[in-house]
């Protein structure tokens, strides 16, 4: 049917709509990128002195604490970027506009595609901003352009995965407030990972959790790509996690969305 | 010509239940093209569910439905291309301006950019929204929001328009404005499927009316046919004490009394002649009446007439 051939055009229309929302009401976008920057400043300038002494083994040849912590901060930025996605999707569903879209001869998938692409653009811009701030604060990656591209690709894959998960969470929550709460773990989980201190410094139970949760493998992969630390099998595990989360989020979102407006 | 000979919408044996709750129970509808059809009923009768099914928003459990000549189950996209829907709850994008909302609709109808913008400007003018065109819909009043909602529905020139309680919550002036807009649409050849709680609204606008009660169609016909079912209104008499109420009830025969309110309801068509007859009868029996009011037929009377039971107390959910 004609709707299929219009999928691209409709998705572009929905993308324009979502970006216009973000531009018009930037407060949430600003707070989303502000939080990781505050945490970056806190850990580097306030706690940095104490933290670097505990890194003695992990940091090689003169690397400072900001070099160690930045990959974790970047992952947090992505986690925090899922909040406006979930809230925007939930708001859409609670208002009548999506019911209107559903009675129009448009590509239905474009409603979700518009959210995913719009959120990816916003979150990748946030990531870029955080990298810019960290460079000003003294972040000195020991990497080459190819590894930079690989690191950006890993981040983009993570953004894609968490965005689909956030879309699904936005669809199943009843109010925008609930949507913003339910994605909080995506922002908080990096605290219990290799983001801020090496796993070796943690007590056994916490270490076990930190070692096997998805963010650690992703952070270790980024750290390897940006700072030249050993990656090992982290990259494979990280990509597997991202693909699994993206697929689960996508299928979940699609199922809930197709179930219809009965909420 | 063929457009008028075939119905815009037919439904046979429409059923829908949410869990154990049967919302629509074997509904048959037929709406000729180019006419206004009104589904009349109280809150919870199943009006919104009917609109949601006919407009492809939710599936029916059973029933054969054709809208604009297309099978609802097999060709929902062809139906979507032919219809416009203004639901009971506002379906505008609050974060966009009125103009942006209309252009969004034009884009989703894949209209040429220039055509879309021109159409948006025309609709803003037609719906008296030019001054508010650059303001976000969030700042609109209830009436403006309804007008924008309907204007968005009209983008793409739908041939069948569903309006779910289009005047609920509007002040009398906005309501009359909405009625005029609907009349203009019909004059332009559009078919309208309208739901309402008000007999007056159905009376003003509709060619045919169907009365829905607890998921069942209890009456269907032209406005005149339906009015013939109504016993022509009633007179309400108020008494100072139970004695007066009792003797009046005896003197007037068939009448329903509310003992606790000392009130008597007497069928009466409200003409001067029949009112005089009633008052003469009361005077003959020297019955003192405290209060007296004439009620023209409303939805309550239609309900009483076609279902034999009064309308349920309504609980507003908004």
CATH at B213: 3.40.50.300
- The answer to whether residue B76 is domain-embedded is yes
For residues B154 and B189, membership in a common domain is answered with yes
Phi, psi of B264 (to 5 degrees): -125, 135
Number of domains in chain B: 2
Hunting for tokens 């090992």 — which residue is that?
Answer: A232
Q: Is A28 exposed, middle or buried (0-12, 13-18, 19+ CB in 10 A)?
A: middle
Tell me which of B191, B214, B229 is where a domain ends: B229
For residues B195 and B59, membership in a common domain is answered with yes
Of B59, B81, B94, the CB nearest to A105: B81
**Do residue A103 and residue B57 have CB atoms under 8 angstroms apart?**
yes
Interchain contact A5–B (C-beta under 8 A): no
* CATH code, domain carrying B265: 3.30.70
Which chain A residues are closer than 8 Å to B91 by Cβ?
95-97, 99-100
Which chain B residues are closer than 8 Å to A94 by Cβ?
none
The answer for A 37-96 residues in CB contact with B (under 8 A) is: 95-96
Residues in Cβ contact with A263 at an 8 Å cutoff, skipping those fewer than 6 apart: A93, A174
pLDDT of residue B71: 93
Phi, psi of B275 (to 5 degrees): -65, -40
- The answer to whether residue B103 is domain-embedded is no
Of B58, B85, B100, the CB nearest to A100: B85
Of A3, A17, A20, the CB nearest to B77: A3
3-state secondary structure of A218: helix
Which chain B residues are closer than 8 Å to A100 by Cβ?
85, 87, 91, 152
Which chain A residues are closer than 8 Å to B107 by Cβ?
9, 13, 16
For residues B224 and B153, membership in a common domain is answered with yes
> Cα Rg for chain B, rounded, in angstroms?
23
For residues B250 and B175, membership in a common domain is answered with no
For residues B217 and B269, membership in a common domain is answered with no
- The answer to whether residue B183 is domain-embedded is yes
For residues B274 and B289, membership in a common domain is answered with yes
Residues in Cβ contact with B265 at an 8 Å cutoff, skipping those fewer than 6 apart: B234, B235, B236, B237, B255, B256, B257, B258
Q: Which domain holds residue B156?
A: 2-92+140-229
Helices and strands counted in chain A (H then E): 13, 0
pLDDT of residue B313: 43
For residues B6 and B153, membership in a common domain is answered with yes
**Do residue B95 and residue A20 have CB atoms under 8 angstroms apart?**
yes
Of A1, A10, A24, the CB nearest to B108: A10
Residues in Cβ contact with A37 at an 8 Å cutoff, skipping those fewer than 6 apart: A129, A130, A133
Interchain contact A101–B (C-beta under 8 A): yes
Which chain B residues are closer than 8 Å to A9 by Cβ?
107, 110
pLDDT of residue B60: 92
Query: Which of A100, A261, A262 should be substituted to probe chain B, the one whose Cβ sees the most B Cβ atoms within 10 Å?
Result: A100
> Cα Rg for chain A, rounded, in angstroms?
19
Tell me the average pLDDT across A96-100: 89
A256 has pLDDT over 50: yes
- The answer to whether residue B198 is domain-embedded is yes
Residues in Cβ contact with B182 at an 8 Å cutoff, skipping those fewer than 6 apart: B36, B163, B166, B192, B194, B205
What would the pLDDT profile of A7-35 be if each residue is shown by its tens digit? Answer: 899 999 999 999 999 888 888 878 888 88
Helix (H) or strand (E) holding A224: helix A214-227
Q: Are A30 and A22 in contact (CB under 8 A)?
A: no
Q: In 3-state terms, chain B is what percent helix, strand and coil (to 5)? A: 40, 25, 35
Long-range contacts of B175-181 (CB under 8 A, 24+ apart): B175/B201, B177/B143, B177/B147, B178/B146, B178/B147, B178/B150, B179/B204, B179/B205, B181/B127, B181/B147, B181/B150
- The answer to whether residue B311 is domain-embedded is no
**Do residue A262 and residue B58 have CB atoms under 8 angstroms apart?**
yes
A243 has pLDDT over 90: yes
Hunting for tokens 């020297």 — which residue is that?
Answer: B286
Average per-residue pLDDT in chain A? Answer: 87
Report the predicted TM-score, pTM, of the whole model to 2 decimal places. 0.81
Tell me the average pLDDT across A62-80: 87
- The answer to whether residue B101 is domain-embedded is no
CA angle A13, A26, B109 (to 5 degrees): 15
**Structure-token pair, residue A200:** 């070796």
**Do residue A260 and residue B59 have CB atoms under 8 angstroms apart?**
yes
For residues B251 and B222, membership in a common domain is answered with no
- The answer to whether residue B305 is domain-embedded is no
**Do residue A96 and residue B59 have CB atoms under 8 angstroms apart?**
no
Range with the poorest average pLDDT among A95-99, A206-210, B255-259: B255-259
For residues B166 and B291, membership in a common domain is answered with no
Range with the poorest average pLDDT among A60-64, A223-227, B6-10: A60-64
Q: What is the ipTM of this complex?
A: 0.84
Of A9, A16, A261, the CB nearest to B110: A9
Which chain A residues are closer than 8 Å to B81 by Cβ?
105
Residue B79's closest chain A neighbor by CA?
A105
Residue B59's closest chain A neighbor by CA?
A260
Please give the interface size between A and B, counted as residue pairs whose CB atoms are below 8 Å apart. 68
For residues B82 and B48, membership in a common domain is answered with yes
- pLDDT under 50 in chain B at which residues? 1-4, 313-318
A217 has pLDDT over 60: yes
Tell me the average pLDDT across A175-181: 91
For residues B241 and B211, membership in a common domain is answered with no
Spell out where chain B has E strands. Answer: 7-18, 21-32, 36-40, 62-67, 70-71, 83-86, 160-164, 191-196, 208-213, 216-222, 234-238, 256-258, 263-267, 291-295
pLDDT of residue A179: 92
**Do residue B56 and residue A103 have CB atoms under 8 angstroms apart?**
yes
CA angle A13, A17, A22 (to 5 degrees): 145
């Amino acid at each position: 049917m004609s709707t299929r051939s219009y999928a691209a055009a409709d998705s572009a229309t929905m993308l324009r709509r979502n970006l216009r929302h973000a531009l018009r009401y930037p407060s949430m976008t600003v707070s989303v990128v502000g939080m990781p920057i505050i945490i970056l400043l806190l850990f580097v300038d306030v706690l940095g002195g104490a933290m670097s002494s505990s890194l003695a083994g992990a940091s090689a040849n003169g690397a400072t604490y900001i070099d160690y912590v930045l990959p974790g901060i970047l992952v947090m930025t992505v986690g925090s970027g899922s909040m406006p996605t979930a809230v925007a999707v939930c708001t859409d569903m609670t208002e009548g506009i999506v019911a209107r879209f559903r009675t129009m001869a448009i590509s239905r998938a474009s409603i979700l595609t518009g959210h995913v692409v719009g959120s990816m653009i916003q979150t990748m811009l946030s990531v870029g901003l955080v990298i810019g701030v960290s460079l000003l604060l003294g972040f000195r990656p020991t990497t080459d352009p190819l590894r930079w591209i690989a690191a950006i690709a890993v981040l983009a894959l993570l953004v894609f995965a968490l965005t689909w998960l956030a879309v699904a969470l936005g669809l199943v929550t009843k109010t925008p407030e609930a949507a913003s709460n339910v994605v909080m773990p995506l922002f908080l989980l990096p605290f219990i990972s290799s983001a801020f201190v090496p796993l070796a410094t943690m007590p056994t139970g916490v270490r076990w959790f930190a070692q096997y949760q998805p963010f650690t493998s992703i952070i270790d992969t980024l750290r390897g790509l940006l700072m030249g630390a050993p990656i090992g099998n982290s990259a494979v595990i990280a990509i597997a996690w991202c693909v699994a989360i993206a697929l689960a989020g996508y299928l979940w979102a699609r199922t809930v969305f197709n179930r219809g407006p009965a909420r | 010509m063929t457009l008028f000979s075939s119905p815009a919408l037919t439904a046979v044996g429409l059923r829908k239940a949410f869990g154990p709750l049967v919302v629509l129970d074997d509904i048959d509808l037929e709406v000729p093209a180019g006419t206004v059809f009104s589904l009349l009923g109280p809150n919870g009768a199943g009006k919104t569910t009917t609109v949601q099914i006919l407009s492809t928003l939710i599936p029916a459990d059973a029933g054969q439905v054709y809208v604009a000549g297309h099978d609802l189950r097999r060709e929902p996209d062809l139906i979507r291309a032919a219809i416009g829907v203004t639901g009971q709850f506002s379906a505008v994008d609050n974060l966009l301006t009125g103009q942006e909302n209309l252009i969004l609709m034009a884009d989703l109808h894949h209209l040429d950019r220039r055509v879309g913008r021109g159409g948006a400007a025309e609709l803003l003018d037609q719906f008296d929204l030019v001054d508010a065109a650059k303001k976000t819909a969030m700042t609109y009043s209830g009436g403006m929001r309804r007008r924008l909602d309907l204007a968005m529905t009209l983008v793409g020139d739908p041939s069948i328009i569903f309006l779910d309680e289009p005047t609920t919550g509007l002040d009398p002036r906005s309501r009359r404005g909405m009625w005029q807009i609907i009349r203009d649409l019909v004059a332009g050849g559009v078919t309208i499927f309208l739901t309402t709680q008000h007999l007056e609204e159905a009376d003003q606008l509709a060619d045919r009316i169907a009365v829905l009660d607890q998921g069942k169609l209890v009456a269907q016909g032209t406005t005149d046919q339906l009015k013939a079912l109504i016993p022509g209104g009633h007179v309400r008499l108020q008494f100072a004490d139970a004695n007066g109420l009792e003797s009046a009830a005896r003197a007037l025969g068939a009448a329903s009394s509310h003992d606790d309110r000392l009130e008597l309801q007497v069928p009466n068509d409200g003409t001067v002649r029949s009112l005089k007859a009633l008052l003469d009868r009361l005077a003959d029996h020297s019955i003192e009446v405290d209060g007296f009011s004439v009620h023209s037929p409303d939805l309550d009377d239609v309900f009483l007439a076609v279902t034999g039971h009064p309308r349920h107390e309504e609980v507003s959910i908004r």
